[in-house]
Structure 1
């Protein structure tokens, strides 16, 4: 039961309390329940939902998973042709596990599929995976315990609800009976206004959003002392973002976690107010409640502490697998241990993320993961962002190169080398540096190491060499 039975409960117990506020429109618990319930009779067994952030989105999503129904959530920002293709695939591939004749707003069988998730991926067509109702109920229990969500919290997720991070935040709040807020689109001023006037106590967002909110909030004297929880996902927080967030929201515990769409939550850590962060480190905390983590080699054998291998998970939170797009590598299993191919190691119970095997740089017989290099560079004073990659090299096989976006003014290779002295082993440090006009990103907004190498190879002015 993901959350519908709980909505009924909150509507009975607290009918006039606020359930959701999206783009300024508010629905109390009783209004939310009644609006969703009215849509259930006309909602088909499978729904492809492609709607911008709105109260209507939240209501329609609730109706679309009632009973044994299934819902696929598409990003309205995707190209219309891609949207049409995905809608066709959803209706052709999804097989309802039972034709629901129940038109009430109730949860279906725990083991049944309710969500068809779509990964953004790097391919032209996103992969589609499915989740059971029970897997999300278990996830709610784990995340509510880990993050300390309370009914008197007001959660603001300023990103698109089509994103799994924000869709989960909405659903988690509906399950917990806690107020959820979102905006039509991300706007720094709107988020600052909500924090100031709407009693927001909890933020769920990605690191780039947190940096903008924190730095501009400090400049504009926006008071975020009432925020007690910040939850970040998508990538590890760099030193500059952590420092700005700590100053802007001094009373907040800042959580970052590692997970994957197919695995759900894996590990996480909270940085309480006043704590000192591990600058430049690769650690992502300890396993979530109910989650076991092991590092296995390619044959499925366990590896000892501090030895890198496949990050494998055993939990009740793992997805059911793919409807389409399964190449046999994206989600693999060794018995009941699952991996999405991320590499890492355990050290005294803490999980360290190194990155995808495909990104690994082999230089002079040593394995170097760009993620390690980028985290260390982001901790160097004067660096706003960094990206690393492996260039072909006749002597070494590959050499590590890095591009940096300065935080202000200029920066030199000598400053970068000096800044890495205590952060990165010598054999993992870049041999060549470039100043970037901006991060190399794909048309989907993902940082592209391939594009960085292309800029370097073609002498593109967006990557200016700082020498060796």
Structure 2
């Protein structure tokens, strides 16, 4: 269902229904339509005022690209929603990205307008000769006030053609520079059709989506809620205790959040369960949800369901798991999935290989200039190089291509090694890596973040010693095939992470090879 069609319908039938709610700000559907007329008038004027505007990437079909790079989730969401009913391509840029990442994607994709409160970014772009415009959110708001005062709003938003570009998104991974891709309006409509069938963004439902809208999970929550006539509540940062009060006060029944937030939610609900009683559904992204998170939530909120979905930003929603540790994923009926080898041939059932997907919501490809990677094959199927196996129609993921190690002639899924330690008490964050070995080519090592692995506290309340190596290995041997059991165990003071909090596996391995870890 098109996002703008629904916004217009709800604004006509139930204009006072909440559409967007942020930290100290809210817009009803009726107000959102009027707000979009003002926002687009400002954006359009800023693009038109440029003497020599940057040329948008060819994939944008000549439509000017507007990017929002701010920590305000509400501001970002209202701009994305507001521009949806006009000839505009929107993008979100994480302001926490390295400066060279931000400059790179702006210049290579032909973004012409950036709304950002970073003077460093503005100065750096000017120094490169970029001919676009940077404006702060405060300056943007001042221009909106002028538009309202002059009565110079744009015409009302309309439902656009499905083939028209809608959003420019980025997939940065854990080590590479951001890769850009376009979602057309039809591709996003197809994506909403899948999520609305399985993840329950129902009409009138109040969903909470805490976190930056530059995260694809949060952005999808905004789009799918508005596309189905729901209300989406946003938060710049996740404060689990303040969120409890908000859930009760705003009658929020659905949360869409990353696994780390779900873990914090369970801890907060354990302290004040009465504030979370109305919560019916928690939706989290990412494959292989740790069983400890699911069990922790079930223990304090037994009537709250938890769905862990798997998807790729480029492709769309693929499937989900609803029990256990999320290891086995039920693929949605409208999605095609195959496991193929290096030659492109489909492998036998149960064998590891590269996952290929056939989905209507899939982007056509990456924006030229941002990557050499190929998204779609000649047959139209797509891959983001996720590895996995299919057994009895269920998908088990094994990570990306870089998450598969070969040791002694055996293929080992490093995420499978990590999952085995999810039930080890008080271990904290771990990552499995492959390190060079003269005999085996590589061997499997487990790297533990310092402060996570502790024994039972001593009688005086102080922390015990670091977890015993023998206990860790015995734990692994009872849960893993012999070739998966780590040969070495290291401790690092802090595991390297992306700005989004994902552990950088390759960088961790380099630190260990450089001798920076303490070997147990």
TM-score by length of structure 2 reads 0.80
CA 1:291 to 1:202, structure 2 compared with 1: closer, same or farther past 3 Å?
same
2:393 matches 1:339: no
Query: Does 323-332 or 121-130 show the bigger shift?
Result: 323-332
Residues 322 and 429 (structure 1 numbering): CA distance in 2 closer, same or farther, change over 3 Å?
same
Per the alignment, residue 114 of structure 1 pairs with 166
- State how far apart, in whole Å, the 2-side matches of 1:259 and 1:28 are: 30
Q: CA deviation at 1:366?
A: 0.3
Which consecutive residues of structure 2, in runs of 5 or more, have no partner in the other structure? 45-63, 114-153, 456-465
Q: Relative to 1, partners in 2 of residues 1:334 and 1:425: Cα closer, same or farther, differing over 3 Å?
A: farther
1:370 to 393, 402, 414: 414
Deviations 1:26-75 (A, max 9, x none): 21111111111233344334312223324332222123232332112211
Q: Is the 8 A contact 2:66 2:112 kept in 1?
A: no
Q: Deviations over 1:120-157 (max 9, x none)?
A: 23456311101110111111111111012322421111
Give the Cα separation in 2 of the matches to 1:26 and 1:435: 46
Give distance in 1, aligned partners of 2:183 and 2:283.
Answer: 23
What corresponds to 1:99 in structure 2? none
Is 1:78 aligned with 2:97?
Answer: yes
1:157-184 CA-partner distances (Å, limit 9, x unpaired): 1110111111110011101111110112
Deviation at 1:398, TM superposition (A): 0.8
Number of matched residues? Answer: 449
Residue 358 (structure 1) aligned to one of 389, 402, 411: 402
Cα 1:225–1:11 change in 2 (3 A) is: same
Identify the match of residue 503 of structure 2 among 447, 461, 464: 447
Q: Which moved more, 1:236-245 or 1:362-371?
A: 236-245
In structure 1, the residue matched to 2:332 is: 288
Change (3 A) 1:56 1:389: closer
Query: Which among 415, 432, 437 is matched to residue 488 of structure 2?
Result: 432
Within 2, Cα distance between the matches of 1:169 and 1:92? 24
Q: 1:437 to 1:126 in 2, by over 3 A?
A: same
Q: Does 1:214 align with 2:266?
A: yes
Secondary structure at the counterpart of residue 477 of structure 2: coil
Structure 1 residues 93 and 199, CA gap change in structure 2 (3 angstroms):
closer
8 Å CA contact 2:33–2:82 kept in 1: the answer is no
Equivalent-residue separation in structure 1 for 2:278 and 2:263 (angstroms): 18
**Over aligned residue pairs, what C-alpha RMSD do you find?**
2.4
Q: How does 1:52-451 map to 2 (within 5 A)?
A: 52-80=71-99, 82-91=101-110, 103-123=155-175, 125-221=177-273, 223-271=275-323, 277-278=324-325, 282-283=327-328, 285-325=329-369, 327-329=371-373, 331-405=375-449, 406=452, 408-409=454-455, 410-442=466-498, 445-451=501-507
| Alpha carbons 2:40, 2:86 under 8 Å: kept | no
Q: Distance in 1 between matches of 2:518 and 2:381?
A: 45
Moved more, 52-61 or 168-177: 52-61
1:387-416 deviations in whole A, cap 9, x for unaligned? 001111111111110023436443112222
CA spacing shift, 1:67–1:340, aligned 2, 3 Å: same
Kindly state the Cα deviation for residue 85 of structure 1 after the two structures are TM-superposed: 4.0
* Aligned 8 A contact 1:211 1:241 in 2: yes
Residues 300 and 334 in structure 1, CA contact (< 8 A), matched pair in contact too: no
Partner SS state of residue 337, structure 1: coil
In the superposition, relative to structure 1, how do residues 17 and 92 fare at CA in structure 2: closer, same or farther (>3 Å)?
Answer: closer
* 8 A Cα contact 2:205 2:252, kept in partner: yes
- 1:464 aligned residue: 518
Tell me the TM-score normalised to structure 1 length. Answer: 0.89
1:5 aligns with 2:1: no
Q: Which secondary structure state, in structure 2, belongs to the residue aligned with residue 372 of structure 1? A: helix
* CA shift for structure 1 position 187: 2.3
In structure 2, the residue matched to 1:97 is: none
2:38 is matched with which residue? 38
- Structure-2 change in CA distance of 1:325 and 1:203 (3 Å): farther
Q: Structure 2: how far apart are the matches of 1:56 and 1:93? A: 19
Residue deviations 1:363-383 (CA, integer Å, cap 9, x gap): 110011211111111233332
> CA distance change for structure 1 residues 175 and 153 in 2, over 3 Å: closer, same or farther?
same
Inter-partner Cα distance in structure 1 for 2:296 and 2:431: 21
Question: Over residues 428-467 of structure 1, what are the superposed CA-to-partner deviations in whole Å (9 max), with x where a residue is unaligned?
Answer: 111111234343325664312233334433443xx3322x
Gaps of 5+ in 1: 95-101, 272-276
Question: Could you tell which deviates more after superposition, 102-111 or 176-185?
Answer: 102-111
Give, in whole Å, the separation in 2 of the partners of 1:440 and 1:397.
24
Change (3 A) 1:371 1:325: farther
